[in-house]
Structure 1
Amino acid sequence: MDFDHIAEKKQEQKATVWLNLWSNRSPELLSMQLAKKHRPGETVSACLWKSGAFNICYRVRYKDGPDVILRFAALGRAILRREKVQNEVPEVFGSGICWAGPYIVMSFLEGMPLSQLLKDPSREGRPVLNPQISNRSLKRAYREMAMLILELSKHEFNSIGALEENKRGIFIARRPLTFNMNELMVSANLPEKQRDSVSSEEDCRKKFTARCLFLNITKELCAEHSQGPFRLYCDDFRPSNVLIDLSTSRVSGVIDWEFTYAAPAEFTYVAPWWLLLQSPEDWESDLNQFLIRYFPRLRTFLEVLCNYENKLIEQQLLSESQRLSPRMEHSMETGLFWVCLAARYSSMFDEIYWTFIDSQYYGTFTSLDDRIQLLDQEQQHEMNELVKLKTDQSTEGKESFTDHYPIDKLLEL
């Protein structure tokens, strides 16, 4: 599904209005007040900390320590802000609602993001893996990530969804809140309709056909674990959210857990997308060029992961059936890597499907009509109805835009 540029602009305008209001309402004082509400003690100061894409963070210092972090879900960047705060899982002192919206008070962790140690120092903006990094340094970093991945993978659940904890333990409490859900609401103005998702009737038919055929592939490829167990997975798990204690070169903590949920096991079993630090939307427009850079790093990571698995198995802390390295390597051969990525990134679905998935499962592409013949009669009828609907929508003017997330509604979410 494509981004709706009008929807993106609208959300950015709301975010700007909210940020201006925020900066003019003494956020430091608010942070100190809220911190004391949940973690009593004498506060000394508050300052803007390392804010991310979906949060504004303030560090509140206490006279006798320890410090805390106030995380405010940013309006216009995160849509379901209350649900997002509910899903965060680090050690917390409390959470609540204030005039700015939902917030969370959590322990402050010392450490530098691992991505800062791995990034190319000559590149501005979001981190990109340093092409000159030594193999030793890369292996050390990948080992820290491998340890975390294996720990996450051990947790099993009998259904998919967001987690909650009570005295009896951790359980599935509600639907998962995924990174993709948030992006679709922010950038595509879901629900109901998307204005510029097709460019022509043929484009609409091709996109619909791809999704029907993709569904057939997932039913076949993911049959082994279709009924579970499901694994703990975080959409935003990456080196940028892993903090390293510089005195020991070990992990001091992992942050940004809002997009964490019990997910299909296949999400855990595929090769990591973050090996080059970049998010999928930042990869080269030619995904084959991305693979040229990716495969050498994948080999390094799998070597590190396999060695660490061997060590844990020797210590009887891991069973052979819990190994991830062979599954991750196999995911590149079967195309499961691309299937899971397409399922998690709607904006890249069509490029991924037609570049890596379709020919592997349906043979060389000759014509769209041949692929349409693979659909059953009900699907073909649904496609024809959808083509008419979407082509009518694509001709509508900008004045017909319906904002499904006006600012008054955002304040409630």
Structure 2
Amino acid sequence: MMTKKTTRTAHAAAIESAIAKCRWKLLPFLALMFALAMIDRSNVGFAKAALQADIGLSNAAFALGAGIFFIGYAIFEVPSNLMLHRVGARLWLSRIMITWGLVSAAMMFTRDETTFYVLRFLLGVAEAGFSPGVILYLTYWFPAQRRGQAIGIYYFGLPLALMLGSPLSGWLLEMHGMFNLTNWQWMFLVEGLAAVVVGIIALFYLKSKPQEAAWLTREEKAALSQELEVEDKLKLAHGPDSLPGLFRNKRVLKFILIYFSVQVSVYGVIFYLPTRIAELLGTTVGLEVGMFISLPWLCAAIAMYFVTRYADRHAAHLKMAMCMLGMAAVGIAASALLNSFVPVLLAFCFAAVGFVTVQPLFWTLPTSYLGGVAAAGGIALIGSVGNIGGFVAPMLKANMEVWFTDPRAGMLSLSAAGLVGVYLLWTLRGPERQQRVSTDQTDGALSSH
């Protein structure tokens, strides 16, 4: 006859085995999907100079077009996540990826400012709900105390995209004139169609819930589902349990503002890093610039692995998020104040480590607080409103440079946005203690089964 201690040991062993399998079966593929998403939304930064030369795009028009992606993204993000919660992640994430790949490839037909704006907006509409959808999807597979590193592996797609996508985009920009296509047309076509191919594969590869995974044993499915079910009940007891409740919840509003500040920092750098490095090297954006730009993302990938692992082991997600966002703000400011190639590149490395690593750390906070349909809507709400920071960033940078008649003012304003985010994270110290209490309650509830 099995004792309670033996039962708990078997339960824990089944969960460990299930999580290990989920990690290797799901996360590398999700990271690849995210990498392609990041390539397709940020490759416009590589095409900036070529687009301006070929279709007469002004700096202001580029800034508006680069940012308008996030308006389409924001409008449809909440409906998209609610649809994922209803029809299942496998079908919905595949649909998102295939449609955004087709729209991204259609960027090759850009002819003037109007088509640039329309296609960038449609790209945001097509991709709406992808990243929040994946974050929600991971709550179906990974308990809170293991979610930081799981989200971190998924977010590895960000530095992977910019580490490998930067040389790829630079190389494609050297393919001028093949089959009567310009270099930037080749870049949009190849990188867009790559997303379509992976989206079709995802339709057959992904599973929506642990119960559908043939690679989990019956015991692993039962143990993992039980732990996630108990955790979800505790979240519903401590947080909002309906969509209207989200809009009245002060903690959710803070999450939105924090994520907004992070996105201002991220995209203010991503959209302008290629041209900044090219200026310092005295060259145009191509393979050489792409190779140098891959260095900050390599540093970010390495740091993210160790930092998220440390945060999971020591329940230090909030503390490490503050440190990482502060590091990003300092790195962005330094990149504006320095004027030689090597120091600026090192500053960008510092910034990239900070604003890449802070994102998986941040997402452990709302996903440990929101459950049920409130999780589907809340994660999307945070993502949609927060992602407007990607629209604000290029506009803020451009306007601050004009306002202060100083090219450094734009990047310094992005740095200041990051510091605001650090302060808002600091105000969540009380909620983090509550999160640890909830985790302890989850462990206690499971040990009684």
TM-score (ref. length: structure 2): 0.31
Higher helix share: 2
TM-score (ref. length: structure 1): 0.33
Highest RCO, 1 vs 2 (Cα 8 Å, sep ≥ 6): 2
Greater C-alpha radius of gyration = 1
